[in-house]
Amino acid sequence: MRTSKLITFIILSLMFLKLSAQNNDDRAFRFGMHFSPNFSWLSPNTSGYSSEGMKLGFSYGLSAEFFLSENYLFSTGVTFSTLGGKLKYEGAKEVNGIVTPTTVLQDLKINYLDIPLTLKLKTNPIGYIAYYGNFGVNSQFRFKAKSNFEYENLNGLEDSDVNVSSDVKFINISLIVGGGIEYNLSGNTNIMVGITYQNGFTNVLDSKTYLLDASGKATIDNTGKAVKSNKAASANLHSFVLNLGVYF
């Protein structure tokens, strides 16, 4: 519901700006490319889950901006991004045929195809530099997810590059807020440097928590298997992105 309202607001804003402002730029649109390092983290909403730090990732792709007026643009594009974070929670691990309760540290890496929809407000050039701000939504479609796992009290046991795509939801929606500068090199060629905050407001996890016993450890049933609860694990994905790009 919040997503649909935000998208509706952006569309209405674009229509208003198109009707109320005259485009003084001869171009109807422009294209660009970008490479963007990022720092991302997971913010868990589930009791017993904690965030254990940020991950360094990156994104790259193509952008298209449509001029609504000289200072207002509708921006979209296609981006491939790598995001993630680290979670700590109570779980279980099978070792030599025996399932043992343990505290799990999960290092999650998610690969997304991003399609952002943003409204960009840009100043007139001051010398060679123009300043901009943008806001909107980013729809992210997961195509791969892997994790590294560490298990406490199991003699340093680890699992690496485990495919966990089935434990990550296919779609993630984020609010985008950012700003930066554009430096004109010559003609229509501009270098762009900016910072964006992406505030994820949908759950990225698609798994169940473990049922915990009175001591706060994962429950092992009479057959020697760890018991999952009916409660879904939940966490939101957030990131700061350093935008580096060029527009033509």
pLDDT in tens, 54-102: 999 999 999 999 999 999 999 999 999 999 999 999 999 999 999 999 9
* pLDDT, tens only, 203-217: 999 999 999 999 999
Write down the H helix ranges in the chain: 2-20
Rounded CA-CA distance 107/12 in Å is 40
Whole-angstrom Cα distance, residue 97 to residue 148?
Answer: 21
| CATH number of the domain residue 7 falls in | 2.40.160.20
Which structural domain, as residue segments, surrounds residue 157? 2-17+29-247
Is 229 inside a domain boundary? yes
Is the per-residue pLDDT at 130 higher than 90? yes
Residue 23 lies in a domain: no
How long a stretch of residues is the chain? 248
Residue 2 sits at φ, ψ, to 5 deg, of -60, -40
How many domains, in total, are found in the chain?
Answer: 1
pLDDT of the residue at 91: 97
Q: Is 22 a member of any domain? A: no
Q: Does some domain include residue 156?
A: yes
State what percent of residues in the chain have pLDDT above 90. Answer: 88
Task: Report yes or no on 24 lying in a domain.
Answer: no
